Structure 1
Amino acid sequence: MSLDPATTRRIAKLARIGLDDQEIEAVRTQLGGILGWIEILDEVNVEGVPPMVGTAVNTALAPRVDAVTDGNCQDKVLSNAPDREGPFFTVPKVVE
């Protein structure tokens, strides 16, 4: 599909993309390529294919065991702290 420069400018404005006159031609070519791919998808026969809307909602999630798998490493985590007090990071006061 071929776009004219005025349509390309309008699309860029709607997308809030600032383009100067030198960039319009490059973007026009890229948008034309994208619209060409969409036209190819329009040729696919989808007669009798049910829509996939809502299939993820109707699928049950696989349950998992609620267990700690990567914990109990408090000393390793706190070893990265520049300053600590007991099991806590200490930071400078930022609010007066």
Structure 2
Amino acid sequence: MAENKTISPEAVAHMAALSRLSVSEEEQALFARQFGDILGYMDVLARVDTENVEPLYSPAQHAAPGREDQAVNRRIRREVLANAPEQDGEYFIVPRIV
């Protein structure tokens, strides 16, 4: 698969300290190996020829909307005012705030 990069346990301890994490010596050795594997795989990906590949901005295929956007007034004034505690037939009546 990928060649192993070497990350020292001291580097892992430094990253853990910067992240304010406590990491045991066993975990430092494990994470050093895992970080090395990840960096080795990044080298494999870096060698892939992507010269003639169009950028992919989203993996999902987005279909065009099914209808035109149009502003539509769907409410009738009297229906809206019917829910008001006080109204004058045209507008809501609210307490005056000074």
TM-score, normalisation: structure 2 = 0.48
Between Structure 1 and Structure 2, the one with more helix by share is 1
Higher relative contact order (CA 8 A, sep 6+): 2
Between Structure 1 and Structure 2, the one with more strand by share is 1
TM-score, normalisation: structure 1 = 0.49
Q: Which has the larger radius of gyration?
A: 2
